[in-house]
Structure 1
Amino acid sequence: MADPIYPCLWFDGQAKIAADYYCSIFKNSRINSENPMVVHFELNGKSFMALNGGPMFKFSPATSFVVECDTQEEIDYYWDQLGEGGKYSQCGWLDDRFGVSWQIVPKILQQLMGDPEKAPRVVAAFMKMSKFDIQALLDA
């Protein structure tokens, strides 16, 4: 089993458009196969499936994709690209133009949250943010 578990994203007739959109944003991405019902694609080497399932179900923030970024430039890039035409929220969360939820977070956040003295200040800082600001987290 090369990829035993991968997400299936349910779209209302926009599976191919969405897969092309995501592949244009993430490096090392491609469409593997497609038919009128299903598109199999990879983002950064991770497998996904997009299904043209109809209007019955919608996306929810209860399921989101986390994009860990090494630099502020990466955060800015993914925030702008994925958020275009969508909706921005708090603490690095956004819904893209298709309603899929993403968390654009700095990789260093795990380390900062692991420091018991710094963690409360970091949380207080990022609760005021929409898009994460790495320098503001480091300064907290």
Structure 2
Amino acid sequence: MLTDPPLVAGGPTLKELGGENPNDGHNVDFTVRYRLGRENSTWEYARTSQAQLLINLPEFKHGEELFVQVKAEQNGEIADDWGQELIVTLNKKVSIGGVLIDDDELVPPLDFTTHILGPSSVKLEWRPHEGVPPGRVELIK
């Protein structure tokens, strides 16, 4: 939870805009705009009167960048306009057996059943690891 750092570079702190709890009667609202990727020119917007905000990013790739800006309003007036753009590099991992692996890294089946079909052929059967994105295909030669 934010307590005293500036909300945006060179701007007022949360305490200056209404204390540690923005809902303590000072009517501080924050507008957060964000976009996923440099090529995306469309900003998504979210408003809150809390010192933190969770945003849902249903689709993103490992290593993709999220651009975020914050604007503060107090009693309906802009207290601090859009601040500097914060750039966050997203790190997407999959947990397999407690081990974190990049989601684009191929992992061989670790738990499989072998059926001997003949002296020179076998059939392997397995279920995808828990946490592996659906639709992922692994080819084994």
Question: TM-score range with shorter-chain normalisation?
Answer: under 0.3
* Greater relative CO, 1 or 2 (CA 8 Å, sep 6+): 1
Task: Answer 1 or 2: which has greater strand percent.
Answer: 2
Query: Which of the two has higher C-alpha Rg?
Result: 2
Task: Answer 1 or 2: which has greater helix percent.
Answer: 1
Length-normalised TM-score, structure 1: 0.27
